[in-house]
Amino acid sequence: MRTEWKDFFSENIREFSGYSIGKIFKYLNEPGIISLAGGLPSPEMFQKAELRLASNRYLEKDIEKIMQYTAIPGEQEFIDAILDFLKKDDIVLEKENILVTSSGQHGLDLTGRLFLDPGDTIIIDRPTFAGAIVSFQMERPEIVGIDIEDDGINISQYREVVHDLINKGKKPKFFYVVPDFQNPSGITTSLEKREKLLEMSYENDIPIVEDSPYRDLRYRGKSVPSIFSLDQKMEGNHVIGLYTFSKLFCPGMRIGFNIGPEAVISKMTNIKEANVLNTPKYNQDMCTAFLTEMDLESHLEECRNYYREKLDVFLETMEEFFPEGSGVSWTKPEGGLFLWVTVPENIDTNELFYEAIKYKVAFVPGDVFYASSPSLNHMRINFSYASKEELTEAVKRLAKCLEAQK
Amino acid sequence: MRTEWKDFFSENIREFSGYSIGKIFKYLNEPGIISLAGGLPSPEMFQKAELRLASNRYLEKDIEKIMQYTAIPGEQEFIDAILDFLKKDDIVLEKENILVTSSGQHGLDLTGRLFLDPGDTIIIDRPTFAGAIVSFQMERPEIVGIDIEDDGINISQYREVVHDLINKGKKPKFFYVVPDFQNPSGITTSLEKREKLLEMSYENDIPIVEDSPYRDLRYRGKSVPSIFSLDQKMEGNHVIGLYTFSKLFCPGMRIGFNIGPEAVISKMTNIKEANVLNTPKYNQDMCTAFLTEMDLESHLEECRNYYREKLDVFLETMEEFFPEGSGVSWTKPEGGLFLWVTVPENIDTNELFYEAIKYKVAFVPGDVFYASSPSLNHMRINFSYASKEELTEAVKRLAKCLEAQK
């Protein structure tokens, strides 16, 4: 009887174990815990009645097509709606520049698979989205992290690292960035830094992968042009964009899309074909309805108002319970679902997590947002899911928990 | 402006171009063409009213969960239904042995990714399912083909090849087989050969990947135990099973599942997490309803009757138009959706395809079902989609077309 399978596994996967975040999940459902750990949009923002209506209508008119195999790149009607949706960001594309994906995670994985051989170098922010790290790690690249500042990546450090890598013959395959309300930090990359990143991308011939899950969830301040749109103005053709409907519509449909040069998109389509064939038409149809029939702008406005209130409650309570000199600091995002709390350097948030559970509050320890050499005194806070009352109470509990560590 | 992307692509993907079958698709929609080229189940067999009802019910009772992120391995209710479904095949498993996939294609890709490094050896039938070949090719293994006979793989050739490979230090990572009504040939592997394959699997420690999309579509003859169930009786733990709901329920939901040892399934779950996260709950729910509420057995019986009639019409017309001595032969499947026609050796069906288009009939040239050194005088025929009248007419047109080649 075969019991030892490890020797059969591929080198890419043998030591791969997915999101290490998984180990904390079992604590989140303990009774009385207020969890700020998830990345869930609030079900209060779900357009439930609208989805039911759209579902009935599409199943009525199109059920045979919904039940059959459909085109690998995506439904024409949906792609047209996406092309329209992108125009508000000054992005003008043809259908050859779009591939419908089965989620933002899928878009990341198609990117990693298309570009990365084991040992290849890529550059990411420190910290950055854990889901990107794990998807890229399946190809075993060398992931180089650059510190992020309040207005985006540390540009001089980036420049130094890139030159150093090029001198060593290890030119990065791409630079991955979440420029708007980054997960986990909530930081937005400034226009100046976006332009600098593009300049350096042209200078060194390093494509940029821009991941934009939260872009439309801006609660204050002025929208910054996407790197993709800036590149398009320069006719650079250097940027690949990753999008998802998980945060705007709902995660459950598992729908997103990638945009980029035709040469990139057509190759990603080949990979998608051998990976999952087509994305289910029904799930695309529901997103088409979301874009074209569900009053997108007023829904987004409602989401912004709803999440802004939660963010403000959280930030106000933090100021109250962590005054100057408390040794605790945090980012003040202008949008998105997350912020980043830094605690005194002697505290390892992996240990703090278990202490916090005793106080009935949970967060994600920051180390999972680093590909290597994690900084240990951070926590990612999600403010979109818990109620305002829970957010206030959660901050109080965090304050008590941290007080007890002194 | 960046125009040349190829240098950036990974070695695995740089030369990869997906299904070569794609090049013929544009001919299939020409007016008047009868296409026997697809692999589509008939929409006449779709349970449309039942799907609408199930959809309404699930959206009524469970919409918040349907719209949210859900568990990576699959919905508990669905997994329970699958465990029940497998019992009729004498397969008894726990939930740790099942991973819900986003289609049979997805199940194949998870398998290739888990096991294969570039240069690894695997064994397949000659011919075999083109979708398996392309998914495995993304990992650049050396694919060794063994001729298939009327009752399954040529066992002595398989034994010889395996020993030869082992002697060269190239022990195959796995043997991939579609034992029931194989795509493209329609051939079923006999019980005797299934047992021999298992014996050799134990002897040489080579896992078997058993792909079973058509197993429940048997139109005559007695069901042969699955290799998975035979292995389970031997407590071998050597087999991984791939299933899909595409042919029994419908392809449009994009739902399947993989079964196997817990060590394999948990690692595939890690890959799935970084690849697409979860499979959408709605699509799983519809398959749960299919398994538990849509009168599965009478639906399958209806499918069998419907497809059997089509198969018989096709076979009878073939006998009429291609008598003894015509130089044309074909398999007589006991189930599934495909059969395999062999034409005289001097005919290359890639060229014949374009001739046949002139006669308004289409098939898939057989070469795409070989990983290398294709045999060129075959065509794959799908008999499930065209109507009986069209099937008769298609055979007449094929006969005329072949007559004109003399």
Chain centroid offset of residue B335 CA:
13
Residue in A with minimal Cα distance to B273: A18
Residue B220 CB: number of other CB atoms within 10 A?
Answer: 12
Give the separation between CA A94 and CA A113, rounded to whole angstroms: 24
Output the pLDDT for position A269. Answer: 97
Q: Helix, strand, coil shares of chain B as percentages rounded to 5?
A: 45, 15, 40
3-state SS, one letter per residue, for B330-353: ECCCCECCEEEEECCCCCCHHHHH
CB contact under 8 A, A18 and B273: yes
Mutate to test the interface with A, among B1, B5, B137 (most CBs of A within 10 A): B5
Rounded to the nearest angstrom, the minimum Cα separation between A274 and chain B is 5
Give the strand order in the sheet containing A121-126. Answer: A98-101, A256-259, A239-244, A208-211, A175-177, A121-126, A142-149, A152-153
Chain centroid offset of residue A91 CA:
20
Residues with Cβ within 8 Å of A12's Cβ and at least 6 positions away in sequence, in order, are: A118, A138, A139, A140, B113, B117
Q: Under a CB-based contact definition with an 8 Å cutoff, are residues A391 and A310 in contact?
A: yes
CB contact under 8 A, B263 and A135: no
Q: Which of B13, B115, B131 sits opposite A267 (nearest CB)?
A: B13
The phi and psi torsions of A70 (rounded to 5 degrees) equal -135, 180
Token look-up 């060194």 returns: A204
pLDDT single digits (tens) B298-351: 999 999 999 999 999 999 999 999 999 999 999 999 999 999 999 999 999 999
CB contact under 8 A, B252 and A68: yes
Residues with Cβ within 8 Å of A23's Cβ and at least 6 positions away in sequence, in order, are: none
Rounded to the nearest angstrom, the minimum Cα separation between A326 and chain B is 36
Q: Calculate helix-pair angle for B281-292, A281-292, nearest 10 degrees.
A: 130
Give the separation between CA B110 and CA B88, rounded to whole angstroms: 26
Chain centroid offset of residue B151 CA:
17
CB contact under 8 A, B105 and A276: yes
Compute, in degrees rounded to 10, the torsion defined by CA atoms A71, A73, A74, A76: -90
Length of chain A counted residue by residue? 406
| pLDDT (mean) for B90-117 | 98
The three-state secondary structure class of A135 is: helix
Give the separation between CA B205 and CA A82, rounded to whole angstroms: 50
Q: Under a CB-based contact definition with an 8 Å cutoff, are residues B186 and B382 in contact?
A: no
Cis peptide before A184 (omega within 30 of 0): yes
Output the pLDDT for position B29. Answer: 82
Chain centroid offset of residue A171 CA:
25
Please choose, from the candidates A179, A250, A189, A246, the residue with its C-alpha nearest in 3D space to the C-alpha of residue A215.
A179
Rounded to the nearest angstrom, the minimum Cα separation between B54 and chain A is 11
Q: Which residues pair with A329 in a beta bridge?
A: A342
CB contact under 8 A, A252 and B279: no
Q: Which residues pair with B243 in a beta bridge?
A: B257
Query: Which DSSP category does B396 fall into?
Result: H
pLDDT single digits (tens) B197-219: 999 999 999 999 999 999 999 99
Give the separation between CA A64 and CA A80, rounded to whole angstroms: 21
Provide the b/e sequence for A53-91 (b: ≥16 CB within 10 Å). ebbeebbeeebebbbbbbebbbbebbbebbbebbeebeb
Rounded to the nearest angstrom, the minimum Cα separation between A321 and chain B is 32
Q: Which of B2, B51, B273 sits opposite A236 (nearest CB)?
A: B2
Residue in A with minimal Cα distance to B120: A10
Rounded to the nearest angstrom, the minimum Cα separation between B10 and chain A is 5
**Chain B residues near residue A271 by CB distance under 8 angstroms:** 13, 16, 18, 138
CB contact under 8 A, A69 and B40: yes
Confidence check: pLDDT of B30 > 90: no
Residue-wise pLDDT tens for chain A (406 aa)?
Answer: 777 899 999 999 999 988 877 678 788 888 999 999 988 899 999 999 999 999 999 999 999 999 999 999 999 999 999 999 999 999 999 999 999 999 999 999 999 999 999 999 999 999 999 999 999 999 999 999 999 999 999 999 999 999 999 999 999 999 999 999 999 999 999 999 999 999 999 999 999 999 999 999 999 999 999 999 999 999 999 999 999 999 999 999 999 999 999 999 999 999 999 999 999 999 999 999 999 999 999 999 999 999 999 999 999 999 999 999 999 999 999 999 999 999 999 999 999 999 999 999 999 999 999 999 999 999 999 999 999 999 999 999 999 999 999 8
- Domains of chain A from N-terminus onward: 6-47+298-404 (3.90.1150.10), 68-292 (3.40.640.10)
The three-state secondary structure class of A199 is: helix
CB contact under 8 A, B103 and A253: no
Residues with Cβ within 8 Å of A221's Cβ and at least 6 positions away in sequence, in order, are: A188, A334, A335
The phi and psi torsions of B385 (rounded to 5 degrees) equal -100, -45
Q: Which residues pair with A153 in a beta bridge?
A: A148
Output the pLDDT for position A167. Answer: 98
Output the pLDDT for position B260. Answer: 98
